Amino acid sequence: MFVFLGLNGLDLDAPQEAVATIVLGVAAKEITEDSLVRWIADHIKPLHAPAVAP
């Protein structure tokens, strides 16, 4: 997932514990695909934020 996001100019902005919890939930079939998509959407940011001109 990190490689895919990086190749698309995005980064996951979430604590490592939260990432582990969501991945384990998916593996245990406790997290639906829709829930995973929403979680990812809520935790992505641009890989390189544009610089702000003075």
Residue-level pLDDT at 47:
86
DSSP string covering 8-27: TTEEE-S-HHHHHHHHHHHH
DSSP state of 52: P
Residue 20: phi, psi to the nearest 5?
-60, -40
Which residues of the chain are under the pLDDT cut of 50?
none
pLDDT of 51: 58
pLDDT score for 49: 61
The residues, any chain, with a CB within 8 Å of residue 11's CB and separated by 6 or more, are 5, 44, 45, 46, 47
Q: Where does residue 29 rank: exposed (0-12), middle (13-18), buried (19+ CB within 10 A)?
A: exposed
State the pTM of this model. Answer: 0.76
